[in-house]
Amino acid sequence: MSRRQFSITVGCTKKGKIIIFFNIFSVIEMEYCAGENFEAKCGENEVIVIEKASYGRMRIGKCVKRDFGYLGCQADILYHMDRLCSGKRECKLIKIPDQTLRDTRPCSELESYIHASHFCQKGITVYIHLLINQSLYRL
């Protein structure tokens, strides 16, 4: 498992029109081998955001011990994982892969694994300021 921590200001306009702050505190990146469970859980007032997800035999590591000529083959499964987990407080996929992933067959008949990263996101704070007749209003 690897973790990255950073903070981003998504948008900020001068004169106070719209200000959006977006902070990502910890991105969790892991490999999930065939037969393992994918599990993500966030704290109160947070939701899961799947950042990226691949299914295949991306590299030698925890799930792939030898290269049988298919190292690097993969399918982008972000849409699938996003649909199952993003926006929820908890997500558990039992004994991956499910049939949808198996049907992608990115590496012929060889067993593949999931490489995914996610983070927990608190609500985004949005401030809207209107300037009307030289008066500034915050909504």
> Rounded distance, CA 11 to CA 93, Å?
34
pTM: predicted TM-score of the whole model, two decimal places:
0.71
Write out the two tokens for 71: 């190292």
pLDDT, one tens digit for every residue, the chain (139 residues): 555 544 444 454 555 555 555 555 688 999 999 999 999 999 888 899 999 999 999 999 999 998 888 899 999 999 999 999 999 999 999 998 999 999 999 998 889 999 999 999 886 656 676 777 777 777 6
pLDDT of residue 117: 95
The verdict on domain 2-138 having CATH code 2.60.120.740 is yes
> Residue for token digits 């300037």?
131
Letter string b/e over residues 83-113, b meaning 16 or more CB atoms within 10 A of that residue's CB: ebbbeeeebebeebbeeebeebebbeeeebb
> DSSP letter at 100?
H
First to last CA, the chain: 42
Contact 13, 102 (CB under 8 A): no
